[in-house]
Amino acid sequence: MRVLAQAAASLGLEWSSPEQPAHNRLDGFFLPGERASPASRPAPFLPELHEEVAKSWNAPYSARVRPAVSLAFSAVDDAKNKGYLSLPPVEEAIAAHLCPPSAGRRAKPALPSKACRTTSSLLRRAFSAAGQAASALHTMATLQIFQADLLRKLDEEGPDAICVPDLRSATDLALRATKSAAQAIGRNMASLTVTERHLWLTLSEMAESERTAFLDAPLSATGLFGSSVKDFAERFAEVQKASQAMKHFLPKRSSSAAGRAKPSAQSSQPQPPSTASTSQHRQARSARPRSRSSGRRPAVRGPRPRITVKPEAPKSS
């Protein structure tokens, strides 16, 4: 705390170190007594470092994943094999078991839905930024170890014409590596914020192209969508109105109607009329007016009489 207070004072930062606990005379004066640890206090806030962290916060969705300026401090040897560049790929056996169509159609397995693929892409961006910050820590630690060795030589051997310039150069390079790490951490925070925004936007009925404006809105500590909340509310109202209009003119098929089975061949055949319909049909026929021919008496058809023909007698000669 004493060293941190001196550093904050030399930089002109507004920060006060925590108060040390008062000595308890009941603990004695010779033996070290049990003293309460000082109250924990946050470190001073450095505005220049925050500017580096927030460089990608104005456009978090369209920010570059790996800026060329910071590659000198955020790239280490064998970073790919150590797993610093990207998320590990999913195993083909897992992809074939959980999502068989993606394993056969594409060279690389992919998630089935577009929303899941977008979430995976954002998570890969966040992992890449975290890997760059971890790579910058390698550079910072190497320079700090070199600084400690130079300071040891100065303390043991006295000032040296070569040692002091090397110490100052190592300090400046460590500060630049800190700047690179801060930028990578800021990109990581931006990618995670965009991922959270994307998850909430999937609950809306907006098109994929319309969500980009809300994903790329500047970051804010007061809310997830920041200053774009007003635009989001207006756009959401427009989408709801359009959705209601489409439901009015183009009603969707209900799930119950879609789930009904097709009529079988037996049900498609004409069925005999029921008893009630037959009686109604008879009443309708009886109520019809009779035609003129209906007044004639119908001919009685009976068995026809048999006509016997007697044979003629033979004539005498």
What's the mean per-residue pLDDT of the chain? 78
Residues 141 and 232 in one domain: yes
Q: Give the mean pLDDT of 170-195.
A: 94
Q: What secondary structure does DSSP assign to 6-20, as a single string? A: HHHHHHT----PPPP
Q: Which helix (DSSP H) or strand (DSSP E) does residue 195 occupy?
A: helix 163-201
Residues 148 and 71 in one domain: yes
Residues 3 and 83 in one domain: no
CA 244 to chain centroid: 26
Q: Which one, of 131, 120, 129, 123, lies nearest residue 81 by Cα?
A: 131
Q: Which of 68-82, 117-131, 164-178, 210-224 has the lowest mean pLDDT?
A: 68-82
The whole domain housing 11 covers 1-19+39-46
Domain membership of residue 284 (yes or no) is no
Domain boundary among 249, 282, 312: 249
CATH of the domain at 141: 1.10.287.3160
Contact yes or no for 65/191 (Cβ under 8 A): no
Q: Give the mean pLDDT of 161-190.
A: 92
Domain boundary among 249, 278, 297: 249
Domain membership of residue 314 (yes or no) is no
Domain membership of residue 29 (yes or no) is no
Residue 179 confidence (pLDDT):
93
Residues 10 and 64 in one domain: no
How many domains, in total, are found in the chain?
2
Residue 238 confidence (pLDDT):
76
Q: Provide the terminal-to-terminal Cα distance of the chain, rounded to the nearest Å.
A: 175
CA 291 to chain centroid: 81
**Predicted confidence (pLDDT) per residue in 263-281, tens digit:** 444 444 555 555 455 555 5
In this prediction, what percent of the chain has a pLDDT beyond 70? 69
Residues 211 and 83 in one domain: yes
Residues 74 and 122 in one domain: yes
Q: Residues 6 or more apart from 127 whose CB is under 8 A from it?
A: 86, 87
Inter-axis angle of helices 208-215 and 229-249, nearest 10: 170
The answer on pLDDT for 125 being more than 60 is: yes
Domain membership of residue 208 (yes or no) is yes
Residue with more model confidence, 270 or 189: 189
Residue 18 Rama label (left phi>0; alpha psi -120 to 50; beta): beta
Residues 62 and 15 in one domain: no
Q: Residues 6 or more apart from 111 whose CB is under 8 A from it?
A: 99, 102, 117, 120
Domain membership of residue 115 (yes or no) is yes
The answer on pLDDT for 217 being more than 70 is: yes
Residue with more model confidence, 247 or 77: 77
Domain membership of residue 261 (yes or no) is no
**Predicted confidence (pLDDT) per residue in 60-103, tens digit:** 999 888 777 667 888 888 888 999 999 998 888 888 888 877 55
**Predicted confidence (pLDDT) per residue in 171-182, tens digit:** 999 999 999 999
Q: Give the mean pLDDT of 290-303.
A: 52
- Rounded Cα distance between 148 and 142, Å, is 10
Residue 272 confidence (pLDDT):
52
pTM, to two decimals: 0.67
Q: Give the mean pLDDT of 9-35.
A: 74
Q: Which one, of 74, 56, 66, lies nearest residue 180 by Cα?
A: 74
Q: Which one, of 66, 106, 101, lies nearest residue 89 by Cα?
A: 106
Residues 77 and 155 in one domain: yes
